[in-house]
Amino acid sequence: MSAIATPIGHQDRYEAIDLLRGIAVLGILVMNIQAFAMPMAAYFNPTALGDRGPIDFYVWALSHLFFDQKFMTIFSWLFGAGIVLMTARAAERGVKPAAFHYRRMLALLVFGLIHAYLIWDGDILVLYAICGALVYPVRKLRPLVLMGLGLLMLAIGSSLMIAGGFYLPKGSPEAIKEFQAFWAPTAEELQRETLAFQGGWLTQMPVRVANSMDFHLSVIWLWGLWRAAGNMLIGMALVKWRVVTAELQQNFYRDLAVIGFGFGLPLIAGGVASMSAHDWETFYSFFIAGQFNYWASLLVASGWVGFTISLWHVGFATGLSARLIAVGRTAFSCYILTSLICTFIFYGHGLGFYMHVSRPGQLGVTLGVWITLLIVAPLWLERFRFGPLEWLWRTLTYGERQPFRRARHSASDWPQISTGAS
């Protein structure tokens, strides 16, 4: 009889990974909210919309220091770790997991395309599906080799960015104008995008489709592939070293937090100071000074991992940890729910607050979404085994309908706070 692959159950999962994934889902929104509420230029360039006062700048700066690329990095680490854990689980059952993995990535790609072209052009699922398919064959390499390959891919992405900073200014006038419009749009360009997203769903479509196509046809290959795939490889190493599963000594995570924040934050602050000293010049700021955050974000992401697991080891805020674990176990559904909530708040098919909410106000919206997810996710998991999209993804991956409702409610259904594998 051939072995049958079945989804990993709660008892087989590492709660620390779910906790970190829950933190990552919430943390990513601090940056994404800017892309929901304003043109993408304002995400990268605090001067893109003109001088909006010191408070607006400080909110951007703090978001850039603590959140920009940090939680995408953590999410990529966990995605790579998940590939290794899934493979190990399948091997234990005598199943070759390749077909299941690629079916899983194909389903994720379809979900991502729907999300990108019909809901929000800031989608990251397409990138993750492509990178997940590409890194899978090397999952069995030794962790030191995986770490080296990951850093090499990040270095290639960094080199491409630096090269762009030197060569794009010498390119055609059309290419220069196009990139300058991305970094600092003219009043007419801002007005055109604002009217589109303040309009109905069909009015938004041309801009959303154009933005998504630009990302899928160019940005993924010049930046996203190297960044996300490199971090997935690092995540594979980190799970083999038992870092993201919280199995190491408490002092390791304490030191990781101190070193990550202590070295990473000053480097990123130096990058911001360098951009400001160059008066936020387009090519220097994005391609050259952006390297401070490109690399130091790995340190700060490590700091967040160390900080989170350190608190979890000592049993700090166990109730909140349980809710974060629930968000982590329904991360896919929470990610898409966040897009639905935020596009309803900011786009014209909903409340139409696009370009009407300041950066401090956007943090208020972020807090509201956080609270919603922290309430809804645990309530959902009291009644169902998986989030709705997790269930659909698993059903497509394993080729048969997966159980959805819980047969009964019991204390054992709820995540227990521990320091190791559940």
Within-domain flag for 375: yes
* pLDDT at residue 421 in the model: 29
Please state, rounded to an integer, the average pLDDT across all residues of the chain: 91
Within-domain flag for 232: yes
Within-domain flag for 149: yes
How many structural domains is the chain composed of? 1
Within-domain flag for 93: yes
- The reported pTM is 0.92
Within-domain flag for 418: no
Given a cut of 50, is residue 413 above it in pLDDT?
Answer: no
Within-domain flag for 254: yes
Within-domain flag for 419: no
* pLDDT at residue 6 in the model: 42
* pLDDT at residue 13 in the model: 52
Q: Which domain holds residue 278?
A: 10-413
* pLDDT at residue 95 in the model: 67
Within-domain flag for 174: yes
* pLDDT at residue 12 in the model: 38
* pLDDT at residue 399 in the model: 85
* pLDDT at residue 181 in the model: 86
* pLDDT at residue 171 in the model: 82
CB 369 within 8 A of CB 405: no
The model's confidence at residue 408, banded by pLDDT at 50, 70 and 90, is: low
